[in-house]
Structure 1
Amino acid sequence: MPYRFEEFEINIEQASLTRGDEEVALEPRAYALLLLLIRNRERVVSKDEIIEQLWQGRFTSDSAVTTCLKTLRKALQDDGERQRFIRTLRGRGFRFVAQVSEVLAESPVIVSIESESPPDWSRIEVPDTQPSALQGKPSLIVLPLQNLGDDPFSALMSEAMAHDVIQELSRLRWLRVIARGTAFRFRFPDTDLRLLGQQLKVRYALCGTISTWGARRELHLELSDCQLGDLVWADRFDVSQDRMHGAREQILARVISSLEIYVPMHEASQASLTSTQRLDSWGNYHLGLRHMYRFTPLANQQAAQYFREAIRLDSRFARAYAGLSFTRFQDAFLNYDDDVNGAIADARRFAETAVELDGLDPFTNFNLGRSLMLEGEADISQSWLERSVTLSPNFAQGHYSRALVNTLQGQTEDCIANSELALHLSPLDPLLYANYAVRALSYLRIGDMENAIKAIEKAVRTPGAHYLIQMIAALLYALNQQMDKAQYWRQQALQRHPSASARHFFVALPFAEESFRQTLSKGLRLANF
């Protein structure tokens, strides 16, 4: 039990709070808030940081934080007046003020990263050791849909959809999928998922129902955590029978892209409630992913630390090397590191290592393609990005990155087509903001300012949007003679990156077409960059 304060104790391994001999009922988000405040008790934790840590970048309101805090205070038998444990500092945030003792001190991977010296990236190599067992690799079983009627066509579709999902999931290198022959033995309506998980040692189950309403078929799909009994994701599809075969591909794409988002998100949430000493390579990897997609300098450093720890635990973990490549890409692309050329070289080196370890993983190929884009090797970059979507046709980030390279090369039609496909496959993707921005630039190239403005407005309002996106908004509004809005987004960009300049912009986005570069340069000058 690492933490004790007054009569309370927190058991990290069991993710529980006890008062004396009695367990205190506490919903997961309030428990996560308690851990966040205790682990940062030497300082004030802002409301923005709480939202970022607990809601993982998803939009939420201040009232949600207030409600979570009230729930926690109630569990601790505290209130806003006494503030015996949690003190509110108006306009600043919250701080845990009770005396805390650490019965068994943790040795976390992330320790005061602000004061940590920059990592020596050149020292991270691939040791000549055998791969360790990836015990924490997510695992999933896909069950046939339960047919709620007696329609023969629905009975056929119930197994066909499950078969298609299994086939497509088998392309994903980060997920262990139970084979069809085993999965289809558990086709019973009342399968106990918790018992099923124990028998097959599987973490997740994808199941659902298909029902008939006249000429329409309604599919309900659910992804559950077999160990916890939690519902992780659910969706509903309503399709007419004459369109069912054509809709299968669309449903399949939505299911795969949703699992690629929600499973890692759920894994990261569970890992964040675990003692860092007990995290395995996959736990560190998923926490790295969560930080990586926050697109801030601090979060990017934290992500890199988690990926390095994953490599320390498993020296041949291809995806962890790919994650390191992604963080170094951010360092170069967003000018987080003054040594841009060094960051670009690292991004390529780590991506090449990842591909050497697992050349069939779409994510490793994707990162190699992106690193080559930074080096100005657009044609070679495009070939690796195409390979990523060949390996997994529903890999939305691969299609988006192809759109980015398209716009850098002036291939407007291809850019919009790849952007549309990425948006269709993954409407909640962490790179959604960038997808909208790429479309805005393509519309600008063909002179469609109305759609360019619409696209960039979506981009800057989407979570994850960084200062380069705000610069694009500023130059677009300046070109459209909306100087008030141009200056607003200029100020927003400078708040994020005080030294933001046209030079930074074109280093990150090396457009090949000189006439379009001149158009963008004009917009940046008008916006006072």
Structure 2
Amino acid sequence: MSVRLLGPLTVIRDGATVPLPASRKLRALFAYLALAPHAVGRSRLCELLWDVPNDPRGELRWCLSKLRGILDEPDRRRIETPGDTIALDLKGVSVDAIDIASAAAGGIETLDLQRLQALSGLFVGDFLDGLEIDRNPHFNGWLIAQRRRFRSWHAAILEHLVNKLPADADEMSAHLEKWVELAPFDGRAHVALLARLAQRGQIAACEEHLASAAKLFASEDLDFGPVREAWRTIRGERPAATLRARPAFVPAAPQASIVLPDSDVAASCKASLAIMPFVEEAAVGDPCGDLSRGGPSRGGLADGLTHDIITRLAKLRDFFVIARGSVFALSEKNIAPEDAGRRLNVDYVTTGTVRSQAGRVVVSVELVEVRTARIVWAETFERRPDDIFAILDDIGNSIVSSISAEIEMVERNRAMLKAPNSLNAWEAYHRGLWHMYRFTRTENGQARHFFDMALRLDPTFARAYAGLSFTHWQNAFQRWGDRDRESALAFEAAGQSLLVDDHNPAAHWAMGRALWLRGEQDGSLLELERAVDLSPNFALGHYALSFVHSQSGDPNAAIGSSDHSRHLSPFDPLLFGMLGARAMAHVRLGQFDEAAEWALKAAARPNAHAIILAIAAHCLALAGRIDDARTFAAAIRKTLPNYCADDFIATFRFEPDAAALFRQGAKRIGLG
């Protein structure tokens, strides 16, 4: 059996089309249940599909009875009714929409040509083509959201298909025309179509298309200049023109833009992001991912949260963030987020809703990669509205930190898949981060190499200087090189980062750590506090404050900063350090059992290095857990045979009382 949700709803069994009842609500129910990720409550389905009828549950039972006749098999019931919920069992059934959604979740960019062609062939029409239900805003809102999502996936599939097909493939023109139809304000689609027409010598058709596209862009106040420039380049390169309009990041104006096929873009090419205005709702969200139900309003808490997230992300200075005015202007024109992302030519789009539900505030967020239409991250935050502004501040912190971390992870992984000699500065920087977070001497050297490459390509890249400083800091801290020399190099690179961008929190973070290496604690704390003042969401700044305070500053402040850094970035590559700093702070407070528990959590992290294991060994020894402590001591001495308390104490900058405590623990396990 197979089910088609793209185009008119169709069920096929043994090669024959199964007749369906004429009821629109039955078809709507079938499609909704097919895409629901889990069982749906009967009350929810009644609310979704029936406009206050006399007997909604009776009508629901009638629809279910008809669906059983269509779907059930002699040895298998496909409609399940656990409790007061309903679910479809579609195992073994081919459903076009589910196949496409699964492919998008796995990454359209990873698919081969044959798979892309097969998926493209599934788009025989709009999602549930021709199915609307009068006076039913709940279902129609869900339907609109699904149609937008599938159109976005269709455009992404076509873009990647065009880039993988041979330039002379017969089906190329049809794919290009459909791509332009689905994404009329995507400059890359127009450039690719112009290149194809030019390749075939159809210059008059190019000029005609250019004129009509220019009028279209002008009608929406979008910048058509880059497409026009791309056409000049293509025409000048004939007959060598190809349709490969190389994707690249554009840190330009908050309007649609397109990179020329061989243009020299600013070397750093930061990733770009648009935060679309969150929608304020009163209704309960549905289980199929609908974010468009329930009477959106403007000017309330949702708009305030959107503005706050945009401002905080901009302060991180990690990537280019589209200004508030541009995203709100597109939203007021009722432009779908996926379409807005392509019009703005950004790499990522964030959408969300804010709603009140049974005495709770619920915020749902999605981060989508525009060129693949893949959901990179999605989360729902629920809080009781005791202090609504404090709640939204806390949720905003979590959203900003998660978006930053998720984008960094995607960019790191993408950079690792590219040939090293093809990297731009942004990609080289993220390749360096990937190696840096391995925390071995060899990988640290690789990280330094890629940070140097990034700086050769873009000498104004503040974050790359901060990364370079970190690699020298690691060499000094881990004793992988001469400590004095590496400390000086860490300080020099941090200084360059500050010269390039004094408002970048990472620059002050790098300087704060470098000053700690030099024994200048007061200056170190000032720089680190400046980092978190510039960006309160900068998790590494809070962690570094915890690290410094844990040794010779305020141990209670160290615990608070450690907790805050982990709250902001719960899956951070430096999580072992956040946990280890908290453990050392507990030792200074005489709380040895607590110190042991936090140290064990730090040592359990997969990238924890020998110094973290040493923190665990000393904390466990002080807590009287001698056997566990000796296990860690033995693990350390497998790689560092002569390791002892002097090495541990010299690594940090403990005040005398703390140093004495750690020496006491070391003596108990033979590290004295």
TM interval, shorter chain, is: 0.7 to 0.9
Whether the 8 Å contact between 2:438 and 2:607 is mirrored in structure 1 is yes
Corresponding residue SS for 1:220: strand
Whether the 8 Å contact between 1:194 and 1:227 is mirrored in structure 2 is no
Counterpart Cα distance in 2 of 1:457 and 1:274:
37
Which residue, out of 175, 185, 191, partners 2:319?
175
- After the TM superposition, which residues 325-474 of structure 1 pair with which residues of structure 2 at under 5 Å, given as runs? 325-337=469-481, 339-474=482-617
Whether the 8 Å contact between 2:614 and 2:636 is mirrored in structure 1 is yes
Q: For structure 1, list consecutive stretches of 5 or more residues without a partner in the other structure.
A: 1-13, 27-130
Counterpart Cα distance in 2 of 1:145 and 1:244:
16
TM-score normalised by structure 2 residue count: 0.57
- After the TM superposition, which residues 90-239 of structure 1 pair with which residues of structure 2 at under 5 Å, given as runs? 133-134=266-267, 136-149=269-282, 156-187=300-331, 191-239=335-383
Indicate the residue corresponding to 1:273 in structure 2.
417
Change (3 A) 1:143 1:455: same
Indicate the residue corresponding to 2:454 in structure 1.
310
Q: Which moved more, 1:150-159 or 1:488-497?
A: 150-159
Number of positions where the alignment pairs a residue of Structure 1 with one of Structure 2? 409
AA aligned opposite 2:477 = F
TM-score normalised by structure 1 residue count: 0.72
Whether the 8 Å contact between 2:351 and 2:365 is mirrored in structure 1 is yes
Indicate the residue corresponding to 2:131 in structure 1.
none
Counterpart Cα distance in 2 of 1:264 and 1:502:
37
Displacement of 1:262 in angstroms is 1.0
Change (3 A) 1:156 1:15: closer
Displacement of 1:246 in angstroms is 1.8
Indicate the residue corresponding to 1:500 in structure 2.
643
Indicate the residue corresponding to 2:657 in structure 1.
515
Displacement of 1:135 in angstroms is 5.3
Which residue, out of 229, 252, 260, partners 2:396?
252
Corresponding residue SS for 2:361: strand
Whether the 8 Å contact between 1:304 and 1:327 is mirrored in structure 2 is yes
Whether the 8 Å contact between 2:280 and 2:300 is mirrored in structure 1 is no
Counterpart Cα distance in 2 of 1:151 and 1:228:
29
- After the TM superposition, which residues 48-63 of structure 1 pair with which residues of structure 2 at under 5 Å, given as runs? none
Displacement of 1:307 in angstroms is 0.5
Indicate the residue corresponding to 1:48 in structure 2.
none
Displacement of 1:241 in angstroms is 4.2
Indicate the residue corresponding to 1:112 in structure 2.
none
Change (3 A) 1:172 1:17: closer
Displacement of 1:451 in angstroms is 1.0
Displacement of 1:207 in angstroms is 0.5
Cα deviations across residues 260-286 of structure 1 (Å, max 9, x unaligned)?
Answer: 211111111122222333211000111
AA aligned opposite 1:320 = A
Corresponding residue SS for 2:453: helix
Displacement of 1:155 in angstroms is 6.3
Displacement of 1:370 in angstroms is 0.2
Which residue, out of 256, 275, 284, partners 2:428?
284
Corresponding residue SS for 1:170: helix
Indicate the residue corresponding to 2:630 in structure 1.
487
Cα deviations across residues 78-130 of structure 1 (Å, max 9, x unaligned)?
Answer: xxxxxxxxxxxxxxxxxxxxxxxxxxxxxxxxxxxxxxxxxxxxxxxxxxxxx
Whether the 8 Å contact between 2:338 and 2:349 is mirrored in structure 1 is no
Whether the 8 Å contact between 1:146 and 1:189 is mirrored in structure 2 is no
Counterpart Cα distance in 2 of 1:189 and 1:436:
47
Cα deviations across residues 483-508 of structure 1 (Å, max 9, x unaligned)?
Answer: 21111001222234444333332222
Return the index of the structure with the highest Cα Rg: 2
Change (3 A) 1:242 1:408: closer
Whether the 8 Å contact between 1:154 and 1:211 is mirrored in structure 2 is no
Whether the 8 Å contact between 1:154 and 1:210 is mirrored in structure 2 is no
Counterpart Cα distance in 1 of 2:593 and 2:386:
37
Counterpart Cα distance in 2 of 1:216 and 1:395:
28
Corresponding residue SS for 2:447: helix
Counterpart Cα distance in 1 of 2:444 and 2:330:
42
Corresponding residue SS for 1:342: helix
- After the TM superposition, which residues 62-77 of structure 1 pair with which residues of structure 2 at under 5 Å, given as runs? none
Counterpart Cα distance in 1 of 2:624 and 2:358:
55
Cα deviations across residues 206-260 of structure 1 (Å, max 9, x unaligned)?
Answer: 1012333243332110111111111111111113344332201101111111122
Change (3 A) 1:355 1:454: same
AA aligned opposite 2:617 = A
Displacement of 1:193 in angstroms is 4.6
Q: For structure 2, list consecutive stretches of 5 or more residues without a partner in the other structure.
A: 1-107, 119-263, 283-293
Corresponding residue SS for 2:383: strand
Is residue 2:453 matched to residue 1:320? no
Whether the 8 Å contact between 1:460 and 1:473 is mirrored in structure 2 is yes
Q: Which moved more, 1:407-416 or 1:464-473?
A: 407-416
Displacement of 1:146 in angstroms is 2.5
Corresponding residue SS for 1:211: strand
Q: CA RMSD of the aligned region, Å?
A: 2.6
Cα deviations across residues 18-45 of structure 1 (Å, max 9, x unaligned)?
Answer: 6xx856999xxxxxxxxxxxxxxxxxxx
Q: Which moved more, 1:148-157 or 1:270-279?
A: 148-157
Change (3 A) 1:274 1:189: farther
Counterpart Cα distance in 1 of 2:644 and 2:463:
33
Corresponding residue SS for 2:316: coil
Counterpart Cα distance in 1 of 2:362 and 2:553:
43
Corresponding residue SS for 1:185: helix
Whether the 8 Å contact between 1:196 and 1:226 is mirrored in structure 2 is no
Corresponding residue SS for 1:184: helix
Whether the 8 Å contact between 1:328 and 1:344 is mirrored in structure 2 is yes
Corresponding residue SS for 1:315: coil
Counterpart Cα distance in 1 of 2:566 and 2:297:
31
Corresponding residue SS for 1:386: helix
Counterpart Cα distance in 2 of 1:381 and 1:220:
38
Corresponding residue SS for 1:458: helix
